[in-house]
């Protein structure tokens, strides 16, 4: 299915940047696959790499419900799978977690431009807090929103809309940065322009064509790139680099 942006870039003021977390700020995607594989395998559900990739960006309870509806012959406790998955993930964050290349620099660029910052993640609050502490970026993100607190997770726009509201800005005044097609759809549905930094395995996914910009890595994101994005959004006056 081809997604199309539903936002208008005319007369937009850029005031904030909202970051996804997993696979964008911290190198967790491959460990999510491992954690989910271990947790599901422990209850008799064997998932392939392709199946694990297909739910990237979704909220964990919705992932569990998705596979429960498919593997109807297997009975398991959803709470147990979620707890085991997050147990594996938190252990990984504290023992091996590392910032994605260019992630901390990108956060600094946006902060120095005077933009408000937030995290809008499908992960539960306990993992978000572990990540921001591990990467020492708590002070950059006064607003940290989890899709767990919404009625629906990504691709529903709720978590992005909550982040914008908490920042005190309109959704169209925010730039979203994502790494998944599901996250991109969520941001666009919220009315936000979005740049994507997909994993190399899915970089050519046609759904990313709806993004404002596609990057191979956040190492490509710098002051000049942000100024260009702001210019595209007709908002250069919003940036006051310090």
Name the burial class of residue 190, with classes exposed (0-12), middle (13-18) and buried (19+) by CB atoms within 10 angstroms of its CB: buried
Cα–Cα distance, 182 to 56 (Å, whole number): 7
DSSP of 83-102, one letter per residue?
HHHHHHHHHHHHHH--BPTT
Q: Do 24 and 179 form a contact (C-beta atoms < 8 A)?
A: yes
List active site positions.
20, 22
Listing from the earlier edge strand, what are the strands of the sheet with 116-121? 143-146, 116-121, 16-19, 174-178, 194-196, 213-214
Helix axes 181-189, 158-167, angle to 10 degrees: 60
- Residue that the structure tokens 């990108």 belong to: 106
3-state secondary structure of 22: strand
Cα–Cα distance, 142 to 201 (Å, whole number): 32
Quick check: bond before 159 cis, omega within 30? no
Cα–Cα distance, 27 to 222 (Å, whole number): 20
């Amino acid at each position: 299915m081809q997604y199309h942006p539903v936002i208008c870039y005319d007369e937009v003021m850029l005031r904030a940047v909202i970051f996804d977390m997993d696979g964008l700020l911290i190198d967790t995607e491959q460990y999510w696959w491992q954690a989910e594989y271990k947790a599901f395998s422990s209850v008799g559900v064997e998932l392939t790499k392709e199946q694990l990739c297909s739910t990237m960006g979704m909220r964990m309870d919705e992932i569990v419900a998705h596979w429960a509806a498919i593997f109807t012959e297997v009975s398991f406790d959803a709470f147990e799978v979620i707890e085991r998955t997050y147990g594996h993930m938190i252990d990984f964050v504290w023992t091996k977690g590392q910032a994605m290349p260019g992630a901390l620099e990108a956060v600094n660029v946006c902060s120095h431009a005077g933009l408000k910052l937030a995290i809008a993640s499908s992960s539960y609050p306990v993992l978000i807090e572990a990540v921001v502490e591990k990467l020492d970026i708590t002070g950059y993100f006064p607003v940290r929103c989890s899709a767990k607190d919404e009625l629906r997770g990504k691709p529903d726009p709720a978590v992005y809309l909550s982040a914008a509201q908490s920042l005190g800005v309109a959704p169209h005044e925010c730039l979203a940065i994502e790494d998944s097609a599901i996250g991109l759809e969520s941001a666009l549905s919220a009315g936000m322009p979005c740049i994507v930094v997909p994993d190399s395995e899915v970089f050519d996914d046609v759904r990313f064509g709806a993004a404002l910009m596609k990057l191979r890595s956040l190492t490509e994101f710098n002051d000049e790139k942000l100024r260009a994005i702001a210019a595209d959004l007709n908002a250069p006056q919003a940036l006051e680099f310090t």
